[in-house]
Structure 1
Amino acid sequence: MTEFYNDSPIESVLDYLDVIIEYSQKEPSELWYRGHRNQEWKLRPSIFREAVLDMRNDGSVQPIRYKNFIDFINAVKKIKNANQQDRFNLFHYSFLAQHYGLPTPFLDWSTDPLVALYFALDGYQYNDEDNFPVVYILNPNRVNEHSMLNIFNSETNKVEDIREPFCVDDLEDKKFEEWLSDLNNTPFSLAPFAVKSNYDLRSHRISRQSGVFTIHEARYLKSPEWIFRVDENGNSMGIALKISPSKVSTIREQLKVLNLTHETVYGTELTKTEEIVNRVLGEI
């Protein structure tokens, strides 16, 4: 069961920002945000939502494996081949494809807390007080401290742990395939890996939504949710904020005043890159 950071549900944008400012003073590092309109939704990428166990039922000891997810790498390669943007790698095209509906092992977050609040309320319909939107707040530094990956520091001539969001801009495509060709055997731990790009990906959505991502593998610990797992120092990777369901309409109006609308968040026109992504996805 999810334990919420806020004792009282968020009833306004000001409430929300007050809680974030208070929490950020305890967590003096970059924070990422993700909104869900249903508190029951898991922090799992879309590619794994229909996954089932792939293990023999013979009583033998076997590694945990899952199956029933699409070959997303082939789809991303098709998008890259159609775009011919030499600077972009398969990670960049996965970010784009994720925003336009391709199931991937990437979960998108935002560095903008108001964007996450917008998504938490987008499409929400009030039924009762037991069903409500939530916003997750993630410490990506702490996530990557728990990863199994490290990096060679040419300045110190040492292999070091990754302790901040990892920029994928200089990675080659072979690294993408090395990490993600077997989604049951990635170099990450059972916690995800936080990544970002500093490039202009020619996407209004990613730019406006301040998009950043966590990469996940098929294997995972089901309970508690990974973001709430506590390390030896008593620190979790993040928290969840409960939004008052009866105040959703009020908060929506406040976001509208702040120019957080469907048009500003999603954009009204597609760039050439976005058009190609949509076309290729439509052919898959």
Structure 2
Amino acid sequence: MSSKIYFSQRQAFSFRRQLINLTTRLHHTLAPGHACKVAKKVLLTPDRSKRKVDEPAGLIRRKVKTSEGNMMTYSLGTGPTWVLGHGWSGSSSQFFSLMEHIAASGFTALAFDNPAHGESEGQYGHLPGFVAALNDILAQQEAIVGVIAHSMGGAMVLESRHPLLEDKPVLLVAPVLNYTENLFSTVERSGYSMKLFNAVVDDIAQAYQYPLDRINPAARLEQRLADVVIVHDRKDRFASFSHSEKIGELEHVTLFPTDGLGHGRILQSDQLKRGFDHLVALTEASRAA
């Protein structure tokens, strides 16, 4: 959904929310088909970042064909591959600093822009489409050593059933582990008609054969056998730290809490790089055991 809705946490504009609720409910009642079409545009259109970011030297761009259209990929380094997936209204450029660190550590960093994000094709963005694109990109890799994901990208990775991910370590950055709860609460806070929103969700679920009640990133994480490292800021306003804190009690999960980095700046932090180094060390120790 539009980041203006998805990232809105403010409660002050009650009149505006009431107006949105009234107009969207009326629209859905009078013209349900047109209302759903408009709702898809409003709720499923991410902001494509126009911020200029200096690219690392040696970065290789390549378009990869998937069922969601052509996805732009970005590769840096040589050696075993770590795949990186960004979150809602994000792009691979957010990972450039981490990709340089990964490459300097003797690996290949492979990031991609999700559908309707960055330089990838697609009109709408949603979790089933994210998962489909990731699976198609993974299908074109001979092997990977691990995966890194930010925000909604964490739900994408945890929801994927691709065989390459089955026994691979995962680095989650500010993950949205309560994805469904978070999704519904943010839309509800915006004032948007929940009946109309449910109609949009049902339409996507039918198209992808992906019912919403099947989505449970936290449960998928609990079921994983490989090592997981979570780097999450205690004051993150968009992804619940408490959920990461709770799941960090599991034996195979290590939590690296941060302070003052929020939901986005954490991607450029030294703490994230230390989290990656720790996960690599854990993986190497497991293989040596």
Q: What TM-score results when the alignment is normalised by the length of structure 2?
A: 0.25
Which structure has more helix as a fraction of its residues?
A: 2
Q: What TM-score results when the alignment is normalised by the length of structure 1?
A: 0.25
Structure with greater contact order relative to length (CA < 8 Å, sep ≥ 6): 1
